[in-house]
Amino acid sequence: MATEVSEVAVTTLSGVGPQIEKHLQRLGITTVSDILFHLPLRYENRNRHLSLGSVRAGDVVTIIGKIDLAQVVFGRRRSLVCRMSDGTGSLTIRLFHFNKRQQQGFERGRWISCYGEVRIGRSGKEMIHPEYKISSQPIQPPAGESLTAVYPTTQGLGQPGFRRLVKGALSYVGQLSDLLPDGDDLPFGTLSEAVRFVHAPPLDADLVALTTGDHPAQQRLAIEELLAHHLSFKKIRQRRENRGAPSLSTQGTMLAALRTEFDFSLTAAQERVINEVMENLNSQKPTLRLVQGDVGSGKTVIAAAAAAQAVESGYQVAIMAPTELLAEQHLLAFRSWFRPLGIEVAWLTGRLPASERKGVIQGLSQGSVKLVVGTHALFQQEVVFLNLGLVVVDEQHRFGVGQRLALVAKGWSSGLSPHQLTMTATPIPRTLAMTFYADLDISSIDELPPGRQRVTTVALPESRRQEVVERVRHACRGGHQAYWVCPLIEESELLLAQSATATEAEIRQAFPELKIGLVHGRMSSAEKEAAMRAFRLGETNLLVATTVIEVGVDVPNASLMIIENAERLGLSQIHQLRGRVGRGTTKASCVMIYRSPLGEQARQRLDTLRSTTDGFVIAEKDLEQRGGGELMGTRQTGHLRMRIADLVRDQQLLSLVEKRGRVIMRDHPEWGNKLIHRWLGEKEQFGAV
């Protein structure tokens, strides 16, 4: 075989200059192979073209017409409003973000074609921020040859640009090496055929199967991806068995002192989990334990207890959270607990001023800093620990495996591997833990602290929206805060941003007296953090958000959660969102707004959520239901960030994956490494381990 596609730099593709290269790097793409394995989130049939008279709210379609009128409107927010018609009807386009050049393009009498979702707004049918094209010539209805793939991309690199790159990369697809050849247990054809198919499915491909991820071409790739993850876990396990860890055994003096700092007594479940963790820390094998517990069950306390043990033994501790905001929250908690014990807690994130950062990094390498809380900035290369004994990773599924390994690898200068605890609110089913995760140890906090308010949950059809508005007004007038979550389609950041932006505009109109914040996935992380912080500080009353609002965020004064399009969300997802409220002393509630008519599964989901707030019950139901494979963004809600596989949906593939995994480990270990590299990337970090 000629050069491996994984060795061909992405810059060999035409159109990839330094700028694009940088954008691609942000997506973790450096080679042509990375592009080929950067898989679509969903598909659109752009050929679906409807006349303006026949489109309905909720249709995602192409429309073509003539511009009748275009003007900038100065309301509460400046917007560009364009009226178009095609003889059968008319529709309004609204842009909230536009520049002068775009504005000038909207000229009366020109032709325009738009692709987007139709909504019903103040002036009838609307599209907010559609993808559009304007021409002085009549525009022909689209006639693409395949379904259009929609990719996860990044600011500065749009869908059309990314699609062009994929097209270029596909000319290399025949050179992909098949790492699981032969065997009649594989769906679809060869790897190359499957990759080509998922990037450009023919127009007559089964769109439903493609949307749920059940298409054989996707399943073929899912097997590879699952295998890659499974093998990487096996390797971690193997290495762990070959490594020693510092034994963190003490008299328990610091832990005893720490207990007096908690202004509550621990639940029986917390006590049990602390014991399980202590047993691990005493041993000379590196701990690899997952602590699972529902939102609000008190996982942070477990991390603190383990940290006390490690610090007393003279080792360093790193606590890592997936976002600045969560890290900051931990910092505050840890400082309040450890300062009285004479232990300083250091802080390391990407936004720390250089001088402070230098100080912390120096303290870590010299050992004067014992306890550090931070984000992924903790595993940057220049961060070196003198004797890292314990790593705690919070909300573990938000990190890639490689990132976690990199942090663990840091402790190894001493030849010993640090202990590792990961904490998550999404339970892992026991069977998965035993097989797929290669015997990962698990502790469960299956009890909430006493006196927790149950979040009252109701489901209302959209027609009763006005009541919801009144409810929000009432809560905010009473000094409380509320979240308004408007997930449209989990996978499409653009549409999401459109819907959040549109909802925000509507909501601003409904509540002229409130201070309203907005968070969505298209904002920079600094903007997001700023909006979240303002909400936490009470500077805004109402936060309009997509589902990006953080897992683990603690705003006790927020007592009301509105979730739109609840019928489109998964059980666990709503449960997690709902966990953002009910953290204070006020009675909290959650209103799920749905669009009628409700499907049977959606109805069951909403019923489950109304009748229980027990995260474990919900997780079980979730598993049962998802077997059916509904249209949902399940990939984001699982434990591993996967590109195409879904542990729950693809359960039936796991025995095949294990079987193949054994054979590869025994006969072709180099294939295993290539698979891991292909799907998990982060080459150097794996190299370091």
Contact residues for ligand ADP (CB under 6 A)? 264, 266-267, 270, 293, 295-301, 425, 449, 552, 554
**Which entry of Mg ion, ligand ADP, none binds 266, CB below 5 to 8 A by partner kind?**
ligand ADP
Please name which of 566, 631, 497 lies closest in space to residue 42, comparing C-alpha atoms. Answer: 631
Which long-range contacts link 159-164 to residues 24+ away (Cβ below 8 Å)? 159/131, 159/494, 161/15, 161/20, 164/15
- Asked if 552 interacts with Mg ion (CB under 5 A), we say yes
Residue among 36 and 548 whose Cβ is closer to Mg ion: 548
- Write out the H or E segment, with its range, that includes residue 36: helix 32-36
Task: Choose one: 144-152, 226-234, 546-554, 611-619; the region binding Mg ion (CB under 5 A).
Answer: 546-554
Least distance to ligand ADP, CB of residue 448, Å? 9
Residue among 395 and 493 whose Cβ is closer to ligand ADP: 395
SS3 562: strand
DSSP code at position 178: P
Name the token pair of 467.
């009541």
Least distance to ligand ADP, CB of residue 596, Å? 34
Name the token pair of 525.
């992380």
**Which entry of Mg ion, ligand ADP, none binds 213, CB below 5 to 8 A by partner kind?**
none
Residue among 300 and 443 whose Cβ is closer to ligand ADP: 300
Contact predicate 642/657, CB 8 Å = no
* Residue 67 CA: distances (Å) to CA of 71, 81, 131: 11, 11, 15
Cα 560 to Cα 556: distance, rounded to the nearest angstrom = 11
Window 352-391: contact mask with Mg ion (x via CB under 5 A): ----------------------------------------
Residue among 222 and 325 whose Cβ is closer to Mg ion: 325
What are the φ/ψ torsions at residue 563 (nearest 5 degrees)? -125, 115
Residue among 552 and 615 whose Cβ is closer to Mg ion: 552
DSSP code at position 427: P
Least distance to ligand ADP, CB of residue 421, Å? 13
**Which entry of ligand ADP, Mg ion, none binds 267, CB below 5 to 8 A by partner kind?**
ligand ADP
**Which entry of ligand ADP, Mg ion, none binds 449, CB below 5 to 8 A by partner kind?**
ligand ADP
Least distance to Mg ion, CB of residue 271, Å? 18
Residue among 62 and 297 whose Cβ is closer to ligand ADP: 297
- Asked if 661 interacts with Mg ion (CB under 5 A), we say no
Window 557-576: contact mask with Mg ion (x via CB under 5 A): --------------------
Residue among 321 and 475 whose Cβ is closer to ligand ADP: 321
Cα 437 to Cα 111: distance, rounded to the nearest angstrom = 56
Contact predicate 500/517, CB 8 Å = no
Cα 516 to Cα 512: distance, rounded to the nearest angstrom = 9
Least distance to ligand ADP, CB of residue 273, Å? 11
Cα 211 to Cα 222: distance, rounded to the nearest angstrom = 14
Name the token pair of 370.
């014992």
**Which entry of Mg ion, ligand ADP, none binds 295, CB below 5 to 8 A by partner kind?**
ligand ADP
Contact predicate 51/65, CB 8 Å = no
What are the φ/ψ torsions at residue 424 (nearest 5 degrees)? -150, 150
Least distance to ligand ADP, CB of residue 408, Å? 21
Least distance to Mg ion, CB of residue 293, Å? 9
Return the residue nearest ligand ADP (CB atom). 298
Residue among 63 and 319 whose Cβ is closer to Mg ion: 319
- Write out the H or E segment, with its range, that includes residue 481: strand 481-485
- Asked if 322 interacts with Mg ion (CB under 5 A), we say no
**Which entry of ligand ADP, Mg ion, none binds 264, CB below 5 to 8 A by partner kind?**
ligand ADP
Residue among 86 and 261 whose Cβ is closer to ligand ADP: 261
User: What number of CA atoms fall less than 13 Å from residue 657's CA on the CB side?
Assistant: 29
Cα 372 to Cα 352: distance, rounded to the nearest angstrom = 13
Residue among 298 and 672 whose Cβ is closer to ligand ADP: 298
Please name which of 325, 453, 345 lies closest in space to residue 398, comparing C-alpha atoms. Answer: 325
Question: 420-449 in b/e burial notation, b at 16+ Cβ within 10 A?
Answer: bbbbbbbbbeeebbebbbbebebbbbbebb
Least distance to Mg ion, CB of residue 325, Å? 12
Residue among 294 and 630 whose Cβ is closer to Mg ion: 294
**Which entry of Mg ion, ligand ADP, none binds 296, CB below 5 to 8 A by partner kind?**
ligand ADP
**Angle value at C-alpha 432, between 553 and 645, nearest 5 degrees:** 75
Least distance to ligand ADP, CB of residue 245, Å? 25
Least distance to ligand ADP, CB of residue 322, Å? 12
Please name which of 358, 330, 335, 360 lies closest in space to residue 345, comparing C-alpha atoms. Answer: 335
Task: Choose one: 105-113, 532-540, 549-557, 616-624; the region binding Mg ion (CB under 5 A).
Answer: 549-557
Q: Which residues pair with 348 in a beta bridge?
A: 374
Residue among 213 and 552 whose Cβ is closer to ligand ADP: 552
Least distance to ligand ADP, CB of residue 393, Å? 13
Burial class (CB in 10 A: 0-12, 13-18, 19+), 138: exposed
Positions touching Mg ion (CB under 5 A) are: 552
